[in-house]
Amino acid sequence: MLTILNPQVIVLNGGSSSGKSSITRALQELLPGVWLTFGVDTFIEALPGRGNSPRAGITFQQDGTITFSAEHRALERNWYTGLSSMAKAGAPMILDEVLLSGGAGQERLRSTFSDLDVMWVGVHCDPDVAAAREAQRADRVEGMARQQALSVHSGVVYDIEVNTTNRSSEDCAHDITRSLLIQSPVP
């Protein structure tokens, strides 16, 4: 018997320049209905100075490491609480995330989205390939892609994992869409 999973939220987690945003856009075209997309970049764009103001509470280190103030973390919790409310009200969404603290970040999201059906997707990319992509983008801090490529997955449990190193975003989106159809055991 074929069972169709029906998540209210799909979380894509991967490092900078791993291809999450491209997969997200492809999923919006493949999945039935209208899916909204939000994520860490959307949140940062809404901050003072688009995240570059000291008031945003984000510090970008020379090696690509990112740290956050307590005020930033509190505002981030409010952001996710608002997204959770939207999903509970019936707005399906895809979150394009970079869980810098790996499993601890996943637990923060799990607790916020605990009343929702969430699908967790790991988006992997070879650190060298992600760094090459990063170098081609003016909106990236050099070193973030290499630093995050593996660390964001530490301790995170996924429903499905895809790898964009040698596969297109569209192919990965098709894999994710197909994974929503699972074979149930026959009684």
The domain of 33 spans: 2-183
Arithmetic mean of pLDDT, 37-55: 91
Task: Note the pLDDT tens digit of each residue in 129-146.
Answer: 998 888 887 666 677 788
The active-site residue, picked from 41, 117, 126, 175, is 41
> What is the layout of strands, in order, in the sheet containing 36-39?
36-39, 93-97, 9-13, 118-124, 160-163
pLDDT above 60: residue 186 = no
Q: Are 141 and 64 in contact (CB under 8 A)?
A: yes
Q: Is 126 a catalytic residue?
A: no
Q: How many domains does the chain have?
A: 1
41: domain CATH number is 3.40.50.300
Q: Are 128 and 150 in contact (CB under 8 A)?
A: no
| pLDDT (tens digit per residue) in 150-175 | 999 999 999 999 999 999 999 999 99
pTM assigned to the model = 0.89
Burial class (CB in 10 A: 0-12, 13-18, 19+), 184: exposed
